[in-house]
Amino acid sequence: MTGPVHISPDQTDTLTLLGTGDSKGVPRFWCACPVCTEARGVNGQPGVNRRTRTATLLRSGGQSALLDAGPDTHAGLARLNGPLVPDAVFISHAHNDHLLGLGDLLDYVRYAAGRLRVYAPPEVVPEIAARFPYAFPEGEGGPVQPIPPQGVPVGEVVVRAFRVPHGANGHSHAYRLDRPAGAGGDGWSAAVVTDAIGIPPELAREWLRAPGGAGLDTLVLGTSFEDESGAPLTGRSVYDVREALTLPWAQAAGQVVLTHLSHGVDVRHAGHLPPGWQYARDDLTVHLPAAPYRPGPPPTHNL
């Protein structure tokens, strides 16, 4: 597994995927399947399938933001080359694998007198307050603000949230990222959709296309398993890889990174993915250009 890549503030906009596993992580601590066995690694070196829970670091124009904060966020931030306090944190929904790392960040605000902007969709804010009541003193304004409809600027990028179906788990929210074209160069559009299934065409047309109807420059999409066609659809909550490959808005994207991966996905076997598609791995840094993705050399890993 490759280590984290340090991106200086004057370099291109990036997403660093600090955590790329599903809600249980890989390896599952109780599991001895081939993927979990490989993920445990050899001689203290983790396998390429080692995956922690969801957290994504956006960097742009000298600023940074966390998109979700799973239980392993502290470890993900600690792996960076130096100390980093994000300028903002966004929470998509109140499931443990996207939220529990917020406790460390709220402790920073409350006990270290730090300043940190935390945002969530309006309906999610009360759920966060119920989970972390100590951080919401009675009679005081809480530390989590509703994401405004117009979005929140992070450097040169505007971050917005939109509601998506989450199958058996009700609904979640995904992130839309846009950098307008300007003096700094060409603009781009991206989306981070970790927890969704059955997105209707009208929603995809509104949020999962670039202005003018072209494909997104970058799509980060959750696909927990390779193929769940044998499981009842009523019990599922995230796309599988088989379905993702058929989605018109995914096919139209310049580059696609598949994340939220369970032990049902072995990233060593990626030959079936089309050009411009790749499996995520923890600490992968994805550049956010207007140009289509150009695949580089495959990552090294333990076999």
List the pLDDT tens digit at each of the 303 positions of the chain.
Answer: 334 444 344 457 999 999 999 999 999 999 999 999 999 999 989 999 999 999 999 999 999 999 999 999 999 999 999 999 999 999 999 999 999 999 999 888 777 666 889 999 999 999 999 999 988 888 777 889 999 999 999 999 999 999 999 999 999 999 999 999 875 567 999 999 999 999 999 999 999 999 889 999 999 999 999 999 999 999 999 999 999 999 999 999 999 999 999 999 999 999 999 999 999 999 999 999 744 444 444 433 332
- For tokens 């409350």, name the residue: 110
For domain 14-287, give the fold: Metallo-beta-lactamase; Chain A (3.60.15)
Whole-number pLDDT of residue 183? 53
Half-sphere exposure of 58 (CA within 13 A, CB side): 31
- For tokens 């955590």, name the residue: 19
Amino acid at 300: T
pTM: 0.91
Whole-number pLDDT of residue 108? 84
Longest CA span, the chain: 56
Distance between CA atoms of residues 215 and 213, nearest Å: 7
Distance between CA atoms of residues 91 and 152, nearest Å: 13
Partners of 225 in the β-ladder: 264
The domains of the chain are located at 14-287
Strand order in the sheet with 284-287: 144-146, 117-120, 88-90, 63-67, 55-60, 14-19, 284-287
Q: Are 79 and 32 in contact (CB under 8 A)?
A: no
Half-sphere exposure of 198 (CA within 13 A, CB side): 13
Q: Are 196 and 238 in contact (CB under 8 A)?
A: yes
- Asked if the bond preceding 27 is cis, omega within 30° of 0, the reply is yes
